[in-house]
Amino acid sequence: MANQEDFFKKVVAHAKEYGFIFPSSEIYDGLAAVYDYGQLGTELKNNIKQYWWRSMVQYHENIVGIDSAIFMHPKIWKASGHVDAFNDPLIDNRDSKKRYRADVLIENHIAKIEDKIEKECAKAQKRFGDAFDRQQFVSTNARVLEHQQQIDSIRARYAECMNDNDLAGLKQMILDLGIVCPISGTRNWTDVRQFNLMFATKMGSVEGENDTLYLRPETAQGIFVNFLNVQKSGRMKVPFGIAQVGKAFRNEIVARQFIFRMREFEQMEMQFFVRPGTELEWFRYWKEERLKWHLSLGIDASNYRYHDHEKLAHYANAATDIEFLFPFGFKELEGIHSRTNFDLSRHSEFSGKKLQYFDSELNESYTPYVIETSIGVDRTFLAIFSHALKEQTLDDGSSRTLLSLPPVLAPYKAAILPLVKKDGLPEKAREIMDLLKYDYMLQYDEKDAIGRRYRRQDAIGTPFCITVDNDTLQDNNVTVRHRDTMQQERVAIDQLHTYLNQQLKPLR
């Protein structure tokens, strides 16, 4: 755990040091859970969005993309259920004046008991060595069983409180479990209150005269309210999808873990409209398709897992998360939800406009059912970035920091490096820059010894270093060095386009 924490600190420090991510408003001491993307972070983030957009919109004839406004009519959030139900239960400690999510306090308490189970397992593993059978141990060891029973009973009581919206019951649980504030160490808790996560603002110059507007907490509603516009103007036939990438805002009470949980973030969402009755088939299709997208980035499958929801939102008839092994454990990266016809029906009801589709094959009108795929851009960034960051010891005993980003997402595709700063090599290197810069993001670097320049590119994830040496002037060949293997090969300058295209082809 300590190692994981140290590693996570390295991720945050590396992101800042190399211009990927900065704390927002840093010279004013920052703004909690808000971050700015720097010069390299912006490139990586744009490449992630483009990779998603291509796979969803360009590769699917029946999916189109839109860009709806962040401000929307306030009734939309009433219809979607966000005004009444997009809440977190919060509790304050009177001594530290710190605010917590009641459910997170309880989850953390459960995590501590789970840690105890892990410790018992580690001890037994040491004792029994290769003969250790974890499954058998956790199902028979008295201490582990006692801990597991505690966890089960806490979870059951917690689920009951949440289902009944029993806020007093939640507070009583926190008291009964002896949970203390991590800052003050006391149990001097206020009552639990529901806290709506939407940021509210006012439109117009005179406050109070106009309706409250909300910064959208998801991009999905912009798609639902444009369903008819897109279907009619694009002559779309069910099944079809509408995709969108854009900012979303949530006033998270516990915003932490860097860009994992932010107050301003970006989502890539797609709503797929289908015939009623076919939705579970399509749900399975998108569940598989989305995992394939993640795997196409070349990250090992053991880093991903599905988490099927047992308890479903009232409007959903199936839901799953794709979880990723972040430096702090498996956590949600993407959600895939079968949302029935809930959203379109509610918007029909609240707007008075019929949001239906006439299916000419069936000769009938219906409200389509919807499968949603919803993934955070920032969370994807964190997953890819933290997985790519490595400290490597090389054969000669030296070490290097390597950011082995999928080449298709790397901020710079190649660095152009004259071996020395004389003998006409910089001029030749500049010629190569001019040849390639219209097709690839490149970096030119002539400062320091070549080894140090390679290290700089390794640390920012550049997949190829193209070195110009004295032979280049004679034979028009350059040395291409591969970031991950450090292997080098000679390539003719007039073949560089074909070579790079081949290496950087988006995976399918």
User: Site residues (CB under 6 A) for ligand GAP?
Assistant: 218, 220, 250, 252, 261-262, 265, 267, 269, 332-335, 372, 374-376, 378-379
In whole angstroms, the minimum distance from the beta carbon of 403 to ligand GAP comes to: 22
CB-neighbour burial class of residue 396 (10 A; exposed 0-12, middle 13-18, buried 19+): exposed
Nearer to ligand GAP by Cβ, of 95 and 252: the residue is 252
Closer to ligand GAP by Cβ: residue 318 or 465? 318
Q: What is the rounded end-to-end Cα distance, in angstroms, of the chain? A: 36
Measured from the CB of residue 154, what is the shortest distance to ligand GAP in angstroms?
24
Rounded to a whole number of angstroms, the minimum distance from the CB of residue 333 to ligand GAP is: 6
Nearer to ligand GAP, 244 or 479 (CB): 244
Helix H or strand E encompassing 185: none
Instruction: Tell me the pairing of strands 389-393 and 399-403.
Output: antiparallel
Instruction: Give me the DSSP letters along 371-434.
Output: EEEEEEHHHHHHHHHHHHEEEEE-TTS-EEEEE---GGG-S-SEEEEESSSSTTHHHHHHHHHH
Q: How far is the CB of 430 from ligand GAP (least distance, A)?
A: 41
CB of 472 to ligand GAP, least distance (A): 46
Residue nearest ligand GAP, Cβ-based: 376
| Beta carbon nearer to ligand GAP, 150 or 194 | 194
Residues contacting 47, CB < 8 A, separation 6+: 408, 409, 410, 411
> 181-199 burial string, b = 16+ CB within 10 Å, else e?
beeeeeeebeebeebbbbe
Of the candidates 65, 35, 108, the residue with the CA atom closest to the CA atom of residue 377 = 35
Rounded Cα–Cα distance for residues 330 and 305 (Å): 8
Closer to ligand GAP by CB, 55 or 479: give it: 55
Q: How far is the CB of 467 from ligand GAP (least distance, A)?
A: 40
CB of 415 to ligand GAP, least distance (A): 32
Q: Which residues contact 392 (CB under 8 A, 6 or more apart)?
A: 399, 400, 401, 402
